[in-house]
Amino acid sequence: KFSMERSLTLLPTRSTLASLVLPKSTACFLEDVLAAMREALEDDGQLTPGGATLFGMCAASGSLAVLMDLAKDAKRKLGGTVELLHPTEVFLVEEEDDREAVILDFHIPQSPLLQHKFVLLLALESPFSGGDSDQITFTSQSLLPNTQVVCMSDGTQYVLLTGQASMEHQRWMLSIDSKSPNMKLLTDGNTRRSNVTPVLLFSLEEDIRFVPTKVSGLSQPISFLCELRRFLSDSLPHKSPHVPPLRRESLQAPPPISLDLSSSESVLAELINSSAPTVFSFTGSTYHVHRGELAMPPGLLDELRHGLEQNLLQIREVLRDKDNGQRSIKRLQRLWELCAFPKVDPASGESQYCAFLLLKAMKTVGREMLPQLRATRAEPRPTAREATCRLRSLTVSLERFVVGPNTANINNCHGRCAFPLEKTVNHAVLLNAHIESGNVHERSPCCVPFAYESLEVVDLNEHGTLFFTHPDMVAKECGCR
């Protein structure tokens, strides 16, 4: 048994720990865990093979029933009744036999609404990869049963451990043992292996939400924004890790527009009807304090409703042909439910705000995916056509946003400019004729963009929601100049 009586050495202070970290201020942490639990279950309530891997479930894991209960609870309620608690202290420990060990202190609030079903969650910053599959044994008097086994393999990101009934101040002391000497969950010698975030999950009584001061609780607008981030992450391309990101501050833009109750009808109408791609940016820790609202007249609400229904049908059709398309369709359906935008009755200010963001997101996804779908279904182009000046897709990296996407398709022009020139100007025609008559030292006409459209950015920050328009950002047409 693992106890404080054993020979233990506390490692240096918490701020110097390389691999075990306290959770960052991200409102989507719990939402991401709940989404992973929901998606770990099939529609019939059975655990998917991918879900078993994601949560490190062995064939006879004692945590399987707990995962199933949490997942069903997350599926049953949009807001969920699962809460999380961060540790007040975290210490790594050295044991005599060189096994890993950790001490976690939690201050658990007292409430009659609190169900004493505690689960310790260890969340890796990213799914485990590059190592051999291995069984890891956790031992602690705080666990029930005291010894629990997790199967780590490529794709595992979460570890669930079932705990004892709560006390007012609870200390979890975990001993971690692996069959493979090279498998270290928290550390790998003196080097950093993977950031691991420990939290305590628990449930509240049915239909009642009690959120103590130090416990993370989520409102519906926050759930919507977190789900929107996951939907965009699934549906849009990601930046290459080898390409340095472009900071948005380096781009030109007129003063932003505030998206709130003071937004004018003409501005909102222009944004609703715009087909420009949209990037969703989040800066600062404002999820918990900011709630967007809009006040649209009935006619504009009808336009928004029509746009939502039209784009929803289109995006569902596109997603059916995409890898993991069913998951994206389910996320889109959940966004629609969280949006709570009525088909006929007047919509609340928050519902209008979420519906507006959902429309802009769907337009962006459709714009990105429809050309790919058409290219897949279309006949191959002739080689000569491939060589002529034309518009092609070009995805560039933006800075890493919390709500993304972190890329933008700005297009570019490629191909040769030869007679007869298309979409050109008189100067290029004369220049080309001059070169073809033997004056080969002049610059040849180049295939370049001559028409552009804007890139729109929805920026959620401590001041509210700002809408930026970056002009001449996306190449629209090409020609020889």
- Say if residue 47 is exposed, middle or buried (CB neighbours under 10 Å; 0-12, 13-18, 19+): middle
Identify the pLDDT of residue 289.
46
Identify the pLDDT of residue 216.
39
Q: In whole angstroms, how far apart are CA 113 and each of 2, 97, 246?
A: 32, 42, 48
Q: Is 105 helix (H, G, I), strand (E, B) or coil?
A: strand
Identify the pLDDT of residue 308.
93
- Residue 374 CA to residue 355 CA, distance in Å, equals 28
Helix or strand run (H / E) with residue 242: none
Identify the pLDDT of residue 448.
93
229: which residues sit within 8 A by CB, 6+ positions away? 28, 280, 402, 403, 404
pTM for this prediction: 0.78
Identify the pLDDT of residue 413.
94
Partnered with residue 160 across adjacent β-strands are: 121
What count of residues does the chain have? 481
| Type of residue numbered 33 | V
Render the burial of 67-88: b for 16+ CB within 10 Å, e for the rest.
bbebbebbbeeeebbbbbbbbe
Identify the pLDDT of residue 7.
37
> Where in the chain are the domains?
17-203
Assign residue 469 a region: left if phi > 0, alpha if psi is -120 to 50, beta otherwise? beta
Q: Which two tokens stand for residue 369?
A: 């995916």
Question: 142: closest CA among 106, 183, 90?
Answer: 106
| Type of residue numbered 173 | M
Q: Which two tokens stand for residue 224?
A: 């919507």
Residue 234 CA from chain centroid, whole number: 8
Helix or strand run (H / E) with residue 371: helix 349-377
Identify the pLDDT of residue 326.
82
Q: Is 130 helix (H, G, I), strand (E, B) or coil?
A: coil
CB neighbours of residue 297 within 10 Å: 10
| Type of residue numbered 166 | S
- Residue 432 CA to residue 439 CA, distance in Å, equals 10
49: which residues sit within 8 A by CB, 6+ positions away? none
Quote the DSSP letter at residue 234: H
Rounded average pLDDT per 10-residue block, the chain, 481 residues: 38 38 60 87 82 85 77 64 80 73 80 67 83 83 89 89 71 83 59 69 55 43 83 73 59 85 94 88 54 90 93 86 81 89 85 94 83 52 66 77 64 86 84 84 89 88 82 91 88
- Residue 409 CA to residue 397 CA, distance in Å, equals 9
